[in-house]
Amino acid sequence: IEYLPISSVEKAKPIIEEFLEIWREVLSKKSLHGQFMRAEPIFAEYGLSDNYTWQHTAVQYAAALAQLIASVQTRN
């Protein structure tokens, strides 16, 4: 498998949606509480353009991790 970066946020959306659908399925089978929702970061707030870069990926991972941490704190 060859990894190639995605050049557009619009092209990345279907991939992110598929990932989240798989993740929701995994969570439902494990009977975990809470939910995992897609959080759409506003890339302009970070000074990022629509030309997708590794920095966009980092922002998306950070947003997903922050959401996961918040959901765990809410449950406790």
pLDDT tens-place string over residues 5-14 = 777 778 778 8
What is the structure's pLDDT at 47? 92
Q: Look up residue 43 and give its two tokens.
A: 């890339």
**Residue that wins the pLDDT comparison between 48 and 54:** 48
The C-alpha atoms of residue 10 and residue 58 are separated, in whole angstroms, by 17
Range of the domain at 51: 9-74
Domain count of the fold of the chain: 1
Residue 39 within any structural domain of the chain: yes
* Average pLDDT of span 51-61: 84
pLDDT tens-digit readout, 12-41: 788 778 887 877 777 677 655 556 566 678
Alpha-carbon separation of residue 12 from 2, 33, 66 (angstroms): 16, 28, 20
The C-alpha atoms of residue 16 and residue 18 are separated, in whole angstroms, by 5
The C-alpha atoms of residue 40 and residue 1 are separated, in whole angstroms, by 27
| Among the listed residues 41, 30, 46, the one whose alpha carbon sits nearest the alpha carbon of residue 66 | 41
Residue 4 within any structural domain of the chain: no
Residue 43 within any structural domain of the chain: yes
Residue 2 within any structural domain of the chain: no
